[in-house]
Amino acid sequence: MKVSYNWLKEYIDITLDPGKLAHLLTMAGVNVASWHRIEGDYIFEFEITANRPDCLSIIGIAREISAVLEKKLKVPKEIQKGRKIKLTNKENLPISVKIKDPDLCYRYSARIIKDVEVKESPDWLKERIISAGLRPVNNIVDITNFVLFETGQPMHAFDLDKIKGDILIRRAKKGEKIIGIDSVPRACDEDMLLIADSENPIAIAGVMGGLDTEVGNMTKNILLESAFFNPISVRRTSRTLGLSSESSYRFERKIDNGMVLKASERVSDLIDMIAGGKKGPIIDIGNKKSYSKSITLNLQKCESLLGVSVTKKKASKILKSLEFDINEKKGSIRAIVPSFREDVKNEIDLTEEIARIYGYEKIPLTIPRIVGNTSIKDFSDVVEDKIKQILTRLGLKEIITYSLINKNRINGLGIKDDIVVALKNPLSIDQEIMRPTLLPGMLGVISYNLNRRAKHLSLFEIGKMYTEKKHSYQEEVVLSLGLAGIKRETWKVQKEEFDFFDVKGIFETLLGELGLDKIFFKRDKAERFNSDVSAAIEYEGEIIARLGEVNKKILGSFDIEKKVFYGELYIRKILKKINLNKRYLVLGRYPSVTRDISVVAEKKVTSSAITDIINDIGKALVKNVDLIDCYKGKQISQEKRGLLYRIEYRSDERTLEDAEVDKLHTLIKDALTQKLGISFR
């Protein structure tokens, strides 16, 4: 809201530097976002919070200044406290006014003003209107706007002679049309409130007047509306029509019912003065009761909430300056809330009023007692931290991608539509669903970086995937891992690309560190992966992770030409199995003996089948089996491959004799030949 410094000075004596004033008001909760100089004046730009509609007026702001600077507020006689306006009997009004829907229109007042001379406003008035950010129209419209800004009460002047028959305040009929003063025709619905004459709607209540009854140069007599409309109704209408006005903004936030007639009176007097119109009869129907509440403030409570002692004298003074009626009692203050402060409903609201005018900066800094939590984090958080720690140690970089993605991004991943959580009001199709997997986010980042010529990409994300199952929503934390490009390339080592065994190795290390030792890698079919390079990790009979090479078609939809190796770990499934406690194992005291074993096996014979036999036969004496080399080529037939294992034999009880190792080694070889048809090189 724009407020002119000169205008403010009409209601309060201030000579303060505008910067200082802006600061003082901001520190009292009336936020000045900015201020600037114009010719002969300064304009403040206020940001008024939703709870303070009383500050959406020059007088409201002046009142705050009077409280902060402890200066007297001067207001025009029409709107002074306790001012009574003489009403006319209904019969004396030439047209009848009726409220058909009192749930949407709480109160309606109409006054007739005759023989106005519509013309350009005087300069001082035009200046005021411009300072508030509006365009001057004519003296009548400008006066209603002037008083709107002055008091916060929106009003509308109709051309009385263009109103056909009587006035009825009613809900619109479905599709009923009205052309506003902006010349735009709009169709209404049954939730909207209209001001209608006997034939047509003449205004959208609280939002905009109609073109047909607009005050123009030819207007002689006017009907001045000052009303109190249902805030929710005005808000809905304004939102549905996409039409917001100075009036609707104030009605939405609730106007002061105590100002309805006073503001009307103020407009009438100004019209008399500026446009020569004669005040005619006024009627006022509906709820005339304005907000009022009596609240007791316990000063001890106030002190123990704020952590500072404010004297009764000071507290009373603050409340009085904000126009509360005060009655001091022993240890407490009884305050009657003025009609324009409906936000003040109870003791805590009074405490806040005192605190903000007293000054937050005068409240000391203290430290509360510590509650004493016995645990700092849930185990799942501890595990997440641990995983991040392990993966960064392994050289991976963490990414964070959007949880909202384009629906097309999950095409071809084998995800059923009915588990996908979709937004009702997405901003764009790129954010229409919640991700049911972290793969699209990962591929998006890989594509983005490859396009920027990144060579080495080893990334992970820990985040939620979202699904719907029978109207219940699931948020499951998963780990996603993506590798692409060159694993390493230096002047010392030959260029090496990432492959499946890099993702596998990361998973093995990670799960080992999490205390899950008996994991099994199984060949797996997942739509997202190249069927040949796809695996699942099983732990205690349950699949806890999937990994593989992302298939070409999916990569194509992300414009990725390089191979991408990806894995997802379903952390929730292993949470109860994770053991982060480390136990020391006794170091072997006796020397170990290593023997290499070079096997030639059919290609279908798996490495784990071989190592299983080695471990099985070797029992406790085989401490370690490493695969040293794997070769296919000229020296062996096409259906076979050669594998070189290095076996470490060691006993925990004694030094092994060569002969004993030789014997065991031969037993292992025999078993391999017998069970897997393996030969040796």
Sites for another protein among residues 283-342 (CB under 8 A): 304-308
Three-class DSSP labels, 460-487: EEEEEEEEEECCEEEEEEEEEEEEEEEE
Q: How far is the CB of 470 from another protein (least distance, A)?
A: 13
- Locus of tokens 């003063």: 181
The residue within the footprint of another protein, chosen from 330, 369, 604, 619 (CB under 8 A), is 369
- The reply on whether position 466 binds another protein by CB under 8 A is yes
Among 82, 313, 330, 370, binds another protein (CB under 8 A): 370
Alpha helical stretches, state H, 335-457: 347-358, 379-393, 439-451
Report the SS3 class of residue 401: coil
Instruction: Compare residues 475 and 639 and give the one whose CB is closer to another protein.
Output: 475
Give the one residue of 24, 69, 130, 348 binding another protein; rule: CB under 8 A: 348
| Beta strands, E only, 105-176 | 105-114, 155-159, 167-171
Which residues, 6 or more positions from 643, have their beta carbon under 8 angstroms from its beta carbon?
598, 599, 601, 607, 610, 627, 629, 630
Q: Which of 39, 91, 123, 361 binds another protein (CB under 8 A)?
A: 361
CB of 143 to another protein, least distance (A): 27
Work out how close the CB of 413 gets to another protein at its nearest, in angstroms, rounded to a whole number.
20
If one asks whether residue 360 binds another protein (CB under 8 A), the answer comes out as yes
- Asked whether the beta carbons of 132 and 61 are under 8 A apart, the reply is no
CB 424, CB 553: distance < 8 Å: no
The one segment of 125-133, 145-153, 348-356, 612-620 that binds another protein by CB under 8 A? 348-356
Looking at residue 174, what DSSP letter applies?
T
Residue 398 engages another protein in binding (rule: CB under 8 A): yes
Interactions with another protein, residue window 476-495 (CB under 8 A): 488, 490-493
Q: Determine, following the binding rule CB under 8 A, whether residue 431 of this chain makes contact with another protein.
A: yes
Contact stretch for another protein (CB under 8 A) within 454-462, 567-575, 591-599, 607-615? 454-462
Instruction: Return the residue of 138, 351, 480, 530 that touches another protein, per CB under 8 A.
Output: 351
Q: CB-side exposure of 402: number of CA atoms within 13 Å?
A: 10
**395 scored as a contact of another protein (CB under 8 A):** yes
Task: Report d(CA 329, CA 310) in Å as an integer.
Answer: 15
396 binds another protein (CB under 8 A): yes
* Residue choice 17, 120, 199, 475 for contact with another protein (CB under 8 A): 475
Residue 399 found at the interface with another protein (CB under 8 A): yes
Task: Assess 26 for contact with another protein (CB under 8 A).
Answer: yes
Amino acid at 212: D
Count of residues that interact with another protein, criterion CB under 8 A: 87
Q: Which of 38, 184, 419, 423 binds another protein (CB under 8 A)?
A: 423
Q: For residues 272 and 476, which CB has a smaller minimum distance to another protein in the complex?
A: 476
CA–CA distance, 334 with 324 (Å, rounded to integer): 10
Instruction: Return the number of the residue (331 or 677) whose C-beta is nearest another protein.
Output: 331
Secondary structure percentages of the chain, helix, strand, coil, to 5:
35, 30, 40
The set of residues, in sequence order, having a beta carbon less than 8 Å from that of 263 and lying 6+ positions away, is 78, 79, 147, 148, 151, 153, 155, 226
**CB crowding 383-402: b at 16 or more within 10 Å, else e:** bbeebeebbeeeebeebebe
Residue 37 touches another protein, criterion: CB under 8 A: no
Q: Which residues have CB under 8 Å from 429's CB, separation 6+?
A: 406, 407
Residue of the chain from 12, 169, 202, 459 that contacts another protein (CB under 8 A): 459
Three-state DSSP state, 240? helix
Contacts by residues 613-616 (CB-CB < 8 Å, ≥ 24 positions apart): 613/668, 613/671, 613/672, 613/675, 613/676, 614/645, 614/647, 614/668, 614/672, 616/671
Site for another protein in 222-251 (CB under 8 A): 231-232, 235-236
When asked if residue 367 is in the footprint of another protein (CB under 8 A), the reply is yes
Q: Give 321-353 as a 3 state SS string.
A: HCCCEEEEECCEEEEEECCCCCCCCCHHHHHHH
Q: For another protein, which is the closer residue by CB, 24 or 613?
A: 24
Residue 371 makes contact with another protein by CB under 8 A: yes
- The one among 96, 403, 598, 679 contacting another protein by CB under 8 A: 403
For residue 389, the minimal CB distance to another protein (Å) is 9
Taking CB under 8 A as the criterion, which residues in 571-630 touch another protein? none
Closest CA to 351 of 393, 316, 306, 384: 306
Site for another protein in 108-147 (CB under 8 A): none
Task: Kindly tell me which of 248 and 530 has the beta carbon lying closer to another protein.
Answer: 248
The reply on whether position 445 binds another protein by CB under 8 A is yes
- According to DSSP, the residues that pair with 38 across neighbouring strands are 41
Among 86, 313, 330, 452, binds another protein (CB under 8 A): 452
Closer CB to another protein, 74 or 495, in the complex: 495
